[in-house]
Structure 1
C-alpha cells in the first residue's frame, strides 16, 4: 500500500534526522525560509496548512527549491491531501488519525503519516497499512519513555515513528537515540519573529546549530561503540 513510505523517502528522513516544521502567513516568505534551512544543512521540511498561504507556499518551494524534500502537515481532510499532492508535496502528515484522509492519500499515491498517541490509534493506523506514523503530541503524551512502552508490543512489525510536539535542541538526541525513531519534528527552528523580520540568516544559523548538535551526538555514539566500557 502507498501509505507505507517509499524506501527512498524514509532514507531521506533517517539521514536528515530533524525535519523543520513551520507555517507561513505570506507566500513570499516560503522560498526564503526553505533556502535558509538548506543553507544551514536541513533539507526536509513539514510545511503546515495552518494559514491561507499553505498550499501556495508548497507550490513555491516545490518549484523553486527542488533540493528540499517537502512534507505537508496538518492535513485534516481528503481534499487537503489531494491539494497537497497536486502542489508538489513529497509526503503528508496529520496530527490525528482520520481513515478518510489515509485512504485518500493511499488512492492518490501520497506517502502519509497519520498522528497517533495511543496503542488503539496505532493499531488503527497499522490496519490501514501505515508503518510510519507521527507520534503527537510527543512530550505532552509522555515523552520518550511513553513511546518506548507503547511501541514495545508492536516492535516486531517494524513500526517507525516521527515524534513532534514539545521537542527541542535539549531533548532531540534522546528521541533520535531510539532505533524506531526515524526522524523528529523541529518546530523550534523557524521562529515566527525571524520570518516576520526577514531574518533568513538567523534561521540558517539555527538550522546549522541543529546539524552541529546532531553531528556531535553521532561522534559520541561512534566513540562509545568503538570503546565500550
Structure 2
C-alpha cells in the first residue's frame, strides 16, 4: 500500500490540475493527450463514460508514452480490471465500495477512491488511504468544507473534482489539504469538436502554471 500511495502522490503532485476527459470520438484521444502533455499536463484521467473510453486509454498508453494516463468513473471490479488491462497507470472512482477496495488491494495500480463525508474519509483512512478524490466538490460544500476537514483529519489530502473551473481552481489549490484539482475546462467540447489542439495546449499551459498553497 505504501508503494502505491507514494506513486499516486508522485503523479498527483506533479501538476496542479488533472484533466478529466470524456472521449466521444476515439480519433481525438491521441492528439488531445499530446496537446495536454505539450501544455505541461502529463497526467490525464480518461473517464469510462463513453463506449470508446477503454480504447482511448489503450491508444494513449501505446502512442503517447510521455503521458501518464489514468482511468476515471470506475464503478465496478470489471471496470477496474478493464482499465488496468488497457494500460491505465492510476484508477479513479467517484466513491468506494468493498468490491472496488478488494480489486485495488489485488492490483499494483494506484487507486484514488472518492469520499465526501467525514465518516467516508475515516473509513478509507482505516483502509490505509491517505489521498482521496473529493467528489462532487462544489456541490458538497467546496473550499469551506474542505478547509474544515484539514485539522480534524490532518494528514489526509484531496483531489477535489466537479465544479472546478479556471475561476475557482486557485481557491482550492490554496488549501493545505489539497494536492491537486481535477477539471474538464482544459479540454472544452467546442475545441475538441473542431480539433483546435493549439487552444487545448494553451489552456493546459495556463492550468499547469497555477500555484499551490
2:126 aligns to what? 127
| Bigger radius of gyration among the two | 1
TM-score by length of 2: 0.93
Residue pairs, 1:29-48, within 5 angstroms: 29-48=28-47
1:102 aligns to what? 101
Cα separation, 2, equivalents of 1:173 and 1:5 = 27
Three-state SS of the structure 1 residue aligned to 2:129 is coil
Residue pairs, 1:193-208, within 5 angstroms: 193-208=190-205
2:151 aligns to what? 152
Any runs of at least 4 consecutive aligned residues in structure 1 with deviations exceeding 6 A, and if so which? Answer: none
**Mean alpha-carbon deviation: is it higher for 183-192 or for 4-13?**
4-13
Cα separation, 2, equivalents of 1:77 and 1:193 = 31
Q: Is residue 5–residue 129 contact of structure 2 (8 Å, CA) maintained in 1?
A: no
Cα separation, 2, equivalents of 1:64 and 1:201 = 19
* 1:14 is aligned to 2:34: no
Cα separation, 1, equivalents of 2:24 and 2:5 = 31
Structure 2: segments with no counterpart, 5+ residues: none
More helix by share: 1
Root-mean-square deviation (CA, aligned residues, Å) is 1.7
Cα separation, 1, equivalents of 2:92 and 2:208 = 23
Structure 1: segments with no counterpart, 5+ residues: 222-229
Q: Deviations over 1:133-185 (max 9, x none)?
A: 00011111111110121342120xx2111110111112111211222211110
Three-state SS of the structure 2 residue aligned to 1:153 is coil
Size of the aligned set, in residue pairs, is 213
2:80 aligns to what? 81
Residue pairs, 1:46-61, within 5 angstroms: 46-61=45-60
Q: Is residue 4–residue 108 contact of structure 2 (8 Å, CA) maintained in 1?
A: no
Cα separation, 2, equivalents of 1:64 and 1:15 = 21
2:114 aligns to what? 115
* 1:175 is aligned to 2:172: yes
1:225 aligns to what? none
